Every structure is written in C-alpha cells, then in structure tokens.
C-alpha cells in the first residue's frame, strides 16, 4: 500500500522559515504540515523565544529533533567529543551533517515527503536538496517553486516532446501558440535552462506549475502521488521586506537578535546585531557579530571561548585575540566604515552590511 504523503517544514530559528510557517498557515491551511526544529542545544536564547512564539501562533507543537538523544550531553557536545575536540568549520562542517541533516532524514524515514523551504524570491541559492529520493523540496516564496533537479528533468532534451504535448493540452487558446513555441524550443547556448525557465514562468507561472506537476506523474517524486497540489496556483515572489512584514503583522515578531544595537568608538557611531540564526558560536558569523556576542551575550561568548583549546579555534583568529581592546576597537571601526558606505541611497536597511552576507552559509541552519 502506498504510504500517505507527508508535508514537513523545518524551523531553523531564522526569520525565513518562521515566516514560511506563517505564510503557509495563512495561505494554505489545507496542508497538514508537520513542523520540526533540529536543536543543537547551542542556539541563541532569542531562537528559543521565536520557536515558542511560533508554536503559540500555529497552535501546534514544533517537534524537537536531537541528534544525540541517547547521550547525557546535548547534541553538539556529544559530537565534538566524538570528533576529538575538532571544531567544525566552513570546510569541515560535520555539525550540519550530524546535527541537522541526519536527524531530519531520520525524522522523515522512507516515507514520501514534501519539504517546504523558505528560500526567498530575492535570493540566488538552492538550499538543501536531499539525496534521499523520498524527499522533495518545494520553495513557496519563489516564483519557481521547484527544485533544480525537477527543473532539469522537465526542460532537458528527452522531455521536450512531453513538455510540448502538455503545453498544448493545458494552455488557453489565446496563449497556446506562444507557450508551445517556447516549450518546444530546445536548450542551447543562446537559450539556456535559466532563460527557458524564466520565459515559461513569465508567460504563465501557474500553467508552468501544472505542466511540471503532470510531468512528475511518471516519476518517483513524492508529488507524483498527490492528486492535486494547491501550490500549483502559487505565483507569489516574496522578498526580504515581505518576510519582516509577515513576522511583525502575525505577532510572532522578528527574532530579537536581528534588532540593531548602537555602539560608539572615538565618537563615531555604528550598529551591530546578529544576521542569522544558528549556534551562538557559528563559524559563519562575521567579526562584528562575534563582538556583538561578546558584549550582548558575554556568558555565551565565554562558552564559545571555552571550546577553543588544543589548537582548535572557531576561525583563523582566536577569540581571546579578538577581544583584546585594540582588536575590538579595530573591528568596530571597520564595521562603521562598511556601514557608512552601505548607507547610500540604494540601501533600504541599515543592516545591509550583515544581510548581504546571509547567503553565505548553511541553508539548513539559517533559513
Ligand atoms: S549554525 Fe553553524 S555551527 Fe551550528 S550547526 Fe549550523 S553551521 Fe554548524
């Protein structure tokens, strides 16, 4: 017997996944979503507040997934011992694999699952695509809700005949000639996959979704089991400002670590905050964010510092060096310089300096 299709949404503690939960509850209440949160045990307190606010808003529990549930220690401490004190880094990111991806894959098991991911319409990244074929990612904030592998499948050469047939079958008479011509045009150097995708989306996003959905019928993708899918009618494209609006208007609120705090050096003013969720010691954070942690969460900074031993550090510079007064001052002055450049007429957010970095890092941890 075919197993029922599950719909899951991972809450990272960041703004985008929280906003996605709000958005889908409001726009697609028919989806029976299961929410989960991979708890490393090392999140910022603001993250736990956000999760609790979200549970109140949704009226539903967010399942906590712990990677080392059998261990007396929390997940991160358990694995840092397993790795002999070797701290994770951007080039050796065992933390994401062990603390986020593996618990998620265990949570979904082998049942067909649609996983909703909060990558926005103004971002150029793909997010996590599971290698497990029973997990299909969908991106409701983007005009293109489909993952890269699905788009490839639909637009590749051997799908061309079927693509044309479906466009002929599903399009309205007034648009048929134009969309069928687009559909049957093969990919080439002057008509790349991205160009073809955008042309089909520009022509009619909902029609493209219907065609893709039909093409998936003959595949093993989880959505091939669905009779219908309400997101086929989705042609929204949400950007960063929409996310903040959703959070504020819902009452869930923007995670407090995003709130900028003013600091002063030599009579000059700057601002700092944390640009994303994740572990308080995350090695993806910028120097000025470490300074924010040092000054705003001194206890957590000391805990981060305590992991630095036996030659292992969170970045090329040790935390004990980073907090030397001259170095602290320099980091703040560098941040002020960057911020004053960014506050040009095109900048909508004072925190653009930090926000510009948000595409760096890990979709599982920060979305
Ligand atoms: S937030 Fe950073 S340190 Fe924590 S699991 Fe993710 S990548 Fe690793």
Among protein residues, the one whose CA lies closest to atom 1 of ligand 1:
278
Angle at 271 between CA 266 and CA 276, to 5 degrees: 145
**Own/partner pairs, 331-335, CB within 8 angstroms, 24+ separation:** 331/287, 331/288, 331/290, 331/291, 332/263, 332/265, 332/270, 332/288, 332/291, 333/265, 333/266, 333/268, 334/287, 334/288, 335/270, 335/272, 335/287, 335/288, 335/291
- Rounded CA-CA distance 282/47 in Å is 14
Ligand 1 atom, smallest distance to 366 CA: 1
365 touches ligand 1 (CB under 6 Å) = yes
DSSP secondary-structure letter at 258? Answer: G
Instruction: Break the chain into its structural domains and give their ranges.
Output: 6-147+235-250, 150-219, 258-366
Give, for all 367 residues of the chain, the pLDDT tens digit. Answer: 566 899 999 999 999 999 999 999 999 999 999 999 999 999 999 999 999 999 999 999 999 999 988 888 999 999 999 999 999 998 888 999 999 999 999 999 999 999 999 999 888 777 666 678 899 999 999 999 999 999 999 999 888 999 999 999 999 999 999 999 999 999 999 999 999 999 999 999 999 999 999 999 989 999 999 999 999 999 999 999 999 999 999 999 999 899 899 999 999 999 999 988 899 999 999 999 999 999 999 999 999 999 999 889 999 999 999 999 999 999 999 999 998 887 654 443 434 444 545 555 556 666 6
96 touches ligand 1 (CB under 6 Å) = yes
Ligand 1 pocket test, candidate residues 100, 101, 303, most atoms within 8 A of CB: 100
User: pTM of the prediction?
Assistant: 0.90
Residue 274's SS3 state is: coil
User: Which homologous superfamily does the CATH classification assign to the domain defined by 6-147+235-250?
Assistant: HUPs (3.40.50.620)
Q: Which of 256, 258, 251 is nearest to 358 (CA)?
A: 258
Q: Which of 148, 195, 171 is nearest to 163 (CA)?
A: 171
- Rounded CA-CA distance 8/322 in Å is 40
């Amino acid at each position: 017997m075919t197993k029922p299709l599950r719909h899951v949404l991972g809450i990272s503690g960041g703004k985008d996944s929280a906003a996605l939960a709000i958005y889908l509850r409001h726009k697609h209440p028919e989806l029976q979503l299961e929410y989960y949160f991979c708890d490393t045990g090392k999140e910022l307190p603001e993250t736990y507040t956000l999760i609790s606010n979200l549970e109140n808003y949704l009226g539903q529990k967010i399942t906590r997934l712990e990677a080392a549930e059998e261990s007396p220690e929390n997940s991160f401490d358990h694995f840092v011992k397993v790795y002999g004190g070797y701290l994770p880094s951007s080039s050796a990111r065992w933390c994401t694999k062990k603390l986020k991806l593996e618990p998620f894959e265990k949570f979904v098991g082998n049942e067909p699952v649609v996983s909703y991911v909060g990558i926005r319409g103004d971002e150029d990244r793909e997010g996590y695509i599971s290698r497990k074929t029973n997990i299909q990612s969908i991106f409701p904030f983007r005009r293109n809700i489909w993952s890269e592998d699905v788009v490839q499948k639909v637009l590749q050469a051997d799908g061309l005949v079927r693509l044309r047939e479906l466009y002929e079958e599903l399009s309205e008479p007034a648009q048929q000639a134009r969309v069928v011509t687009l559909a049957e045009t093969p990919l080439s150097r002057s008509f790349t996959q991205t160009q073809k995708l955008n042309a089909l989306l520009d022509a009619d996003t909902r029609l493209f979704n219907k065609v893709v959905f039909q093409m998936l019928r003959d595949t093993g993708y989880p959505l091939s089991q669905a009779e219908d899918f309400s997101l086929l009618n989705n042609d929204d494209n949400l950007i960063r400002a929409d996310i903040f609006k959703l959070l504020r208007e819902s009452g869930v609120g923007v995670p407090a670590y995003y709130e900028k705090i003013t600091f002063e050096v030599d009579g000059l003013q700057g601002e700092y905050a944390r640009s994303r969720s994740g572990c308080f010691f995350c090695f993806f954070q910028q120097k000025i964010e470490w300074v924010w942690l040092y000054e705003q969460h001194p206890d957590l900074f000391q805990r981060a510092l305590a992991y630095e031993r036996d030659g292992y550090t969170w970045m090329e510079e040790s935390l004990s060096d980073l907090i030397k007064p001259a170095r602290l001052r320099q980091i703040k002055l560098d941040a002020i310089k960057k911020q004053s450049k960014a506050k040009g007429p095109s900048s909508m957010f004072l925190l653009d300096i930090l926000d510009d970095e948000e595409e760096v890092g890990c979709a599982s941890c920060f979305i």
